Amino acid sequence: KGLNLEIRNSLSDDWDSYFIQAVNDWNKSPALSLSTKNIAIDPDCLSVQGAMIVCNDYYGKTGWTGLNEVYFSGTYIAASVAKMNESYLKGKSDAEKQYVMCHELGHGFGLPHRDENANNPDLGSCLDYTYRYSNNKQPDAKIDFNNLLNLYGSNGNDNTSVSRAEGNGRNLRRQMGGENVSMAHKEMKIENTLFRAMAKEAVNYKEGRLLHQSEYHEIYENDLGDGNRVVTTLLLS
């Protein structure tokens, strides 16, 4: 049980410290066993089956500072992508960048937002909307980690920190945390022709169905057919 996941770092070097900190913070969860792999910088951030890809670029004045795409095959997460938008984040505080990085990784694990009203008291979670980023740079060790345990179960391992020097990491193996889990990363035998199409063609979330909209948050769904879909979550600027 638990989620063993490789997160691939396709970021420019100036984002490494935020990436490493966020992975280490999430890796403290008893439900997660995370490894990292450094890959070539790729602003397109093409999805890879069974892994999370994290990247950054100047994506333009799109209205979002961070974006996460989750590729579903049925109720299983087959891949996920997290993007940091330098068009808004360049020159922002370290706290805001750390918040956005932690936030987008959290969505990649299948977690929702905790509170969408930034004026409410801070929850101490990067999945909380806030103007006070320094109070919400990490996951909440209680509720966020409990939500992960409900999704995946416990991995039963002692989690360790990662660093930029880490190499290929562990082989990927995903297991459900229990029969009632509706979303879990799992190494799926997705039809090759379908996943190649998913990876090669960038999904335009604006062509999808708007599932939810608030002042700071939008969610879109693109139906790829045969039970496959992409859910895109936007953290608005």
Cα 176 to Cα 192: distance, rounded to the nearest angstrom? 22
For 186-227, write each residue's pLDDT tens digit.
444 444 444 555 554 567 888 888 998 888 779 899 888 888
Cα 169 to Cα 50: distance, rounded to the nearest angstrom? 14
Q: What is the pTM of this model?
A: 0.81
Cα 95 to Cα 232: distance, rounded to the nearest angstrom? 24
pLDDT tens, residue order, the chain (237 aa)? 789 999 999 999 999 999 999 999 999 999 999 999 999 999 998 888 889 999 999 999 999 999 999 998 887 888 999 999 999 999 999 999 999 999 999 999 989 888 777 778 889 999 998 889 999 999 999 999 999 999 899 987 655 444 443 332 222 223 222 333 333 444 444 444 445 555 545 678 888 889 988 887 798 998 888 888 888 888 888
* Residue 15, phi then psi, degrees to nearest 5: -100, -5
Question: What is the number of other CB atoms lying within 10 angstroms of the CB of residue 105?
Answer: 25
